[in-house]
Amino acid sequence: MPTALITGATDGVGRLVANQLAEKGFRMLVHGRNRERGESLVREIEAAGGKATFLRADLASLAEVRSLAEAVKAETPKLELLINNAGIGSTGDRPGRQVSADGHELRFAVNYLAGFLLTHLLIPLLKAAAPSRIVNVASAGQKALDFDDIMLTKNYNGTDAYRHSKLAQVLFTVDLANELKGSGVIANTLHPSTYMNTTMVRQSGTTPISTVETGAEAIMHLAVSPALQGRSGLYFNVLRETKADPQAYDAAARAKLKALSLKLTGL
């Protein structure tokens, strides 16, 4: 039975994708912050005949990201699918600039750095399961990173913070595709849908204009579609392959982000 890990699985589009993957025969490792919601998801999957384990971690802490990776390794020697789906929107639980447990700007930390660290820690498991896949759930909301103020200490606003973090995921995905070439592990990224009916969108005060079902279909396409076999480093807008912000294809910008990320995560 193949194994999949999805972060941010206890709510919204992540929860739906977890259920759909379980239906396709994946043993699910489902991550979230809320144990009650996580355990209810496990019961949901098991009631439908699937297998699931809940792994709790707060991705605003790099120590907890490391603990999550260790918990995954304790559960399985191989990982066929990793979906970095967890994230916070432009406002999160409350507006204003916030920092992570490690002192990094919160959106950059949760939406990008956590996935960067988790993915690197789990690459041996992904290689052991090859052919395997990494899916980074980004956004069409992207803004070029300002390396002189990566933590937005000068002119902070939540929308820019969110867009920076989501573009960072895309730069990371393009890098991963290059690093993993020939390993049997592919990495792709996507904007799942615009303003889905999720907690993140509602917290921002935005009226949803699309459904989690649309987003789930897009994520599932990258996760399991035979059409993606062997294809890596791609960006999709829902189901359509397209181009991200030009900075994603700037090798110097990617090298700068990677060096910074390795330093911040202690890899």
127-156 mean pLDDT: 96
230-245 mean pLDDT: 97
pLDDT category at 205 given cuts 50, 70, 90 is: low
pLDDT higher than 70, residue 114: yes
The CA distances from residue 87 to 66, 186, 198, in Å, are 17, 22, 12
Tens digit of each residue's pLDDT (9 = 90 or more) over 48-101: 999 999 999 999 999 999 999 999 999 999 999 999 999 998 775 567 899 999
Contact 101, 63 (CB under 8 A): yes
Cα separation, 226 vs 223, in Å, equals 9
Query: Do the strands 27-32 and 132-137 form a parallel or antiparallel pair, or are they unpaired?
Result: unpaired
Tens digit of each residue's pLDDT (9 = 90 or more) over 216-236: 999 999 999 999 999 999 999
Cα separation, 122 vs 14, in Å, equals 19
Contact 18, 30 (CB under 8 A): yes
pLDDT category at 262 given cuts 50, 70, 90 is: very high
- Catalytic sites, residue numbers: 162
DSSP conformational letter for 75: H
Mean predicted lDDT score pLDDT of the chain? 94
Tens digit of each residue's pLDDT (9 = 90 or more) over 155-189: 899 999 999 999 999 999 999 999 999 999 999 99
Higher pLDDT, residue 209 or 181: 181
Higher pLDDT, residue 13 or 211: 13
Helix (H) or strand (E) holding 42: helix 35-47
| Closest alpha carbon to 34 in 59, 69, 67, 66 | 59
- Stated pTM of the model: 0.94
Cβ atoms within 10 Å, residue 36: 10
Cα separation, 24 vs 90, in Å, equals 33
Record the tokens describing residue 111, joined without a space: 């939406």
pLDDT higher than 60, residue 255: yes
CATH numbers and ranges of domains, the chain: 3-265 (3.40.50.720)
